[in-house]
Structure 1
Amino acid sequence: MEETTDILIVGAGISGLATALALHRLGIRSLVLESSDTLRAAGIAFTTWTNAWRALDALGIADSLRQQHGQLFGIYTSSTVTGNLTSHVSFTNKGTYGDHEVRCVKRKALLEALAKELPNDTIRYSSKLVSIEDLGFLKLVHLADGSTLKTKVLLGCDGVTSVVAKWLGFKQPSLTGRSAIRGCAYYHKGHDFEPNFQQFVGNGVRYGIVPCDDNAVYWFFTWSPSPQENRQLLEADQQKLKQFVLSKLGKVPKQIRAVIEDTNVQEIVRSPLGYRPPLEILFGNISKDNVCVLGDACHPMTPDLGQGGCSALEDGVILARCLGDAFFVSNQHSGFENDDEYTYERIKIGLNNYAKTRRWRGFELISTGYWLGWIQEFDLFGMRFLRDNFLSVFLSGLFLKKADVDPKELKL
């Protein structure tokens, strides 16, 4: 027997689980399809900025995550060329919409916190979407195991290789030519790092050291590989990646170098950096009829602004509110032949409202992150001197500025 559900979410990542939980908080059920057989925690950890915490408060899981992750109080940027501090921006400064809150959150802890609050039958594992069929007021999705489901709303939260985004007409994300290596060092007896984000820039690289809690220190390293480096690292194991990062650190304190040295090679990952060209966000179909995309399926971006996961949490809260307006309306159906047509039109309006809200936000974050990464890694034609002596405070301040979202926008 063919199964029918009101709302089908493809992907149990940050955006998918945040959307499901936001809908659940509004009393709306959804079904989440996840292609793997368990929650995936790729990415290790990420910095959660003020906007993310406002979304997590709306979802009702912020306090539990606060207990697991220490608050950060500032960002210190130093040159890897001279070893000098080039700027310090305090996170205790108030923004336009109130106090800032910044922490480094383990991705696994976030996903588990989101999933824990959902009804037991919300996530269906080992369910890979392969194609979508239009049935008018419904969409029919075909899974890899041969089963099918009908749904009134199809939400693509299936990442950068999204099947749903492809159905909407989006191309695969563009590659920047840059790469990232990430890792996390664990200290069972505790570490000595102050609760600050430490960033190092110069010699064509950018990297950061961020404590998550009393025992874990997350780090990232981004750069533009030369053709020779690409060949060397194409099939490099994690030990070689670790040694490569250590060779590129420049002038930094021994304590910083020790974090990389202390990282178990199993905790190190490398990935190319891609993004959705901003004009695609402005003119592409974020939503069409009763289909929509969120998170990396919609607006993949480089990690330079630290807003990939944060904006995905925003997406979930705002999308749920827009759909809530569509599902909780009066029963005045004048002008429509039947309930299905009426519901379909209300869903289209809700998804269109979401797309209008998120289009410029995605454009802004992708563009800012792209140029921020370029300026921080480019050292020629006087850029290093200009960056270190005049732009460093401004560039670091962008982290807080782009995270300073009106709390009213992130209420359910």
Structure 2
Amino acid sequence: METVEDIVIVGAGISGLTASLGLHRLGIRSLVLESSDRLRITGFAFTTWNNAWRALDAVGIGESLRQRHDLTPSILVASTFLVQPTSEISFKGHEVRCLQRRLLLEGLANELPEGTIRFSSKVVSIEGSGLFKRVIFADGSVLKTKVLIGCDGVNSVVAKWLGLEKPVFTGRSAIRGSTKFEGGHGLDQNSGSLSAKVFDQGSSLVMMRMFIEEELEDDPVKLKQFVLNKLEDTPDDMKSVVQKTELDSISSSPLRYRRPWELLWGNISKGNVCVAGDALHPMTPDLGQGGCSALEDGVVLARCLSEALSTPAAGEEINEREEYNRIEMGLKNFAQKRRWRSFDLITTGYMVGFIQQSSGMIMNFLRDKFFSRFLPGMLLKKADFDCGKLEY
């Protein structure tokens, strides 16, 4: 027997949980399907900019997360070819924090009604069924829904159904790690040289990231040694961060992105189906906007769907075809609002990464003398985006 749901969200990641919580705040129930048997809280931490905190405030959890994450006053932009950092980005007047992914996902999930997230629910295919979509699971069970939202990451089943191509490898990978120092880390911001690093000042958390022009085996022992070799000429306090990092806190992942022109003529939405988050706009982390833009997606999507599913007047009958048309227009509205924003972030992030990783005497000179001065303003400009509020 097939079960029927009004709104199904595939993927309990950042965009999926944000969209579900946004809908819940607006009085609309949704069901979130997660293939894992628990929340996927791996990923350590990421930088959250002004736009992310506006989205978190919109769904009502911004203040609780602020209490557990200190403001980051600045970060350093450094070249792997130089010992000293090329520039420091001051965040004075901006809200930037190093946010732990686990606390974010738990904060979103804990605000949802019990039963909203269904774990161990791996979606393998999607079929049309009149005005509904049939979601087929790995165990053979089937669920029908009026609205299907794909927030299922870079290997999205929903994106594939929409006809979007698989994200492509950039030729670079990122090694990430985090560690904690009892009583605070006490590190000097002006020490060390990594492609990027973020210190959560005033706390015990240190998160580090290095970009490399190759795809490494995901062996924590080898990754740790690889990073230490790269830091051979850096100050000892930076090396100590890597040395102290536990092996289970080190990971490597290939950097993939969606070709931006796909967003211009591809299907972000089709009928009563759409994608958001990494399923929509996988991008390189050079702007630090992957998770932030996923939060934006969730808020905008909840608002667009709420407007499409507005409660009919008392005594007014609900016509299924009219409801489907409203849903379709709501998702088209979401796609229109997110198309150029996603295109901009993917394109800019790719170009920033390409410039920072390019080698050669001329490119090194132009990057370290000119581009590094231009980068801080560009990062802050991309983060100065307001996804709007939810009226509830």
TM-score category by the smaller chain?
over 0.9
The structural deviation recorded for 1:209 is: 3.7
The 3-state SS of whatever aligns with 1:72 is: coil
List aligned pairs for 1:20-59, cutoff 5 A: 20-59=20-59
**Identity %, equivalent residues:** 56
Which stretch has the larger CA shift, 319-328 or 82-91?
A: 82-91
1:214 aligns with 2:206: no
Query: What is the letter of the counterpart of residue 128 of structure 1?
Result: K
1:152 aligns with 2:146: yes
Q: Equivalents in 2 of 1:338, 1:16: separation in Å? A: 27
User: Which segments of 5 or more consecutive residues in structure 1 lack a partner in the other structure?
Assistant: 94-99
Q: Equivalents in 2 of 1:367, 1:273: separation in Å? A: 14
1:131 aligns with 2:125: yes
The structural deviation recorded for 1:161 is: 0.5
2:176 and 2:208 in contact (8 A); partners too: yes
The structural deviation recorded for 1:77 is: 2.4
CA RMSD of aligned residues (A): 2.1
Partner of residue 184, structure 1: 178
The structural deviation recorded for 1:406 is: 3.1
1:140 aligns with 2:134: yes
Partner of residue 354, structure 1: 334
Q: Equivalents in 2 of 1:165, 1:46: separation in Å? A: 25
1:342 aligns with 2:336: no
So what's the TM-score if we normalise by structure 1?
0.90
Runs of 4+ in 1 over 3 A off after TM superposition: 78-82, 196-201, 329-334
The structural deviation recorded for 1:12 is: 0.3
Change (3 A) 1:350 1:108: same
Change (3 A) 1:70 1:115: same
Query: What is the letter of the counterpart of residue 242 of structure 1?
Result: K
Number of equivalences: 391
Change (3 A) 1:56 1:328: same
1:2 and 1:148 in contact (8 A); partners too: yes
Partner of residue 164, structure 2: 170
Partner of residue 314, structure 1: 296
* Per-residue deviation, residues 105-153 of structure 1 (Å, max 9, x unmatched): 1111100000000001100000011111111211111111221111110
Which residue among 363, 382, 390 is the counterpart of 1:383?
A: 363
The structural deviation recorded for 1:273 is: 0.5
So what's the TM-score if we normalise by structure 2?
0.94
Which residue among 215, 234, 239 is the counterpart of 2:221?
A: 239
Q: Equivalents in 1 of 2:105, 2:246: separation in Å? A: 23
User: Which segments of 5 or more consecutive residues in structure 2 lack a partner in the other structure?
Assistant: none
Partner of residue 97, structure 1: none
Partner of residue 9, structure 2: 9
Q: Equivalents in 1 of 2:334, 2:342: separation in Å? A: 12
Query: What is the letter of the counterpart of residue 138 of structure 2?
Result: A
Partner of residue 91, structure 2: 91
Which stretch has the larger CA shift, 50-59 or 380-389?
A: 380-389
Which residue among 245, 248, 253 is the counterpart of 1:263?
A: 245
The structural deviation recorded for 1:82 is: 3.8
Change (3 A) 1:327 1:36: same
Q: Equivalents in 1 of 2:108, 2:179: separation in Å? A: 25
2:79 and 2:356 in contact (8 A); partners too: no
Change (3 A) 1:79 1:166: closer
